[in-house]
Amino acid sequence: MVKNSFISVISQEEKEENRGSVEFQIFSFTNRLRRLTSHLELHRKDYLSQRGLQKILGKRQRLLAYLSKKNRVRYKELINLLDIREPKTR
């Protein structure tokens, strides 16, 4: 199995005190998405993992939408920090 190391953007002290914050949840969902994506590159027919990936992606999209409505500046900073695309608006 291939192990990927993900860079921790948030320091250990911030992790301990801000586990419930929207930014931390989006950060942890992003790390889980990246791990699942690398897993699915090796195991293409793992449909349960694909479903889990889609569920986590939906949760992250809802949290990003919430953050963009509440605080646009923090939203933009987080998008740039995690290097993810801004979702399309309808």
pLDDT tens per residue across span 12-43:
555 566 788 999 999 999 999 999 999 999 99
Residue 1 included in any domain: no
pLDDT of residue 12: 54
Number of domains in the chain: 1
On the question of pLDDT at 4 being above 70, the answer is no
Mean pLDDT is lowest, of 3-17, 33-47, 50-64, for 3-17
Task: Show the domain range for 44.
Answer: 21-79
Residue 6 included in any domain: no
Give percent above pLDDT 90 in the chain.
69
Q: Give the C-alpha separation, 68 to 55, whole Å.
A: 20
pTM of the predicted structure, to 2 decimals: 0.77
Q: Give the C-alpha separation, 69 to 31, whole Å.
A: 23
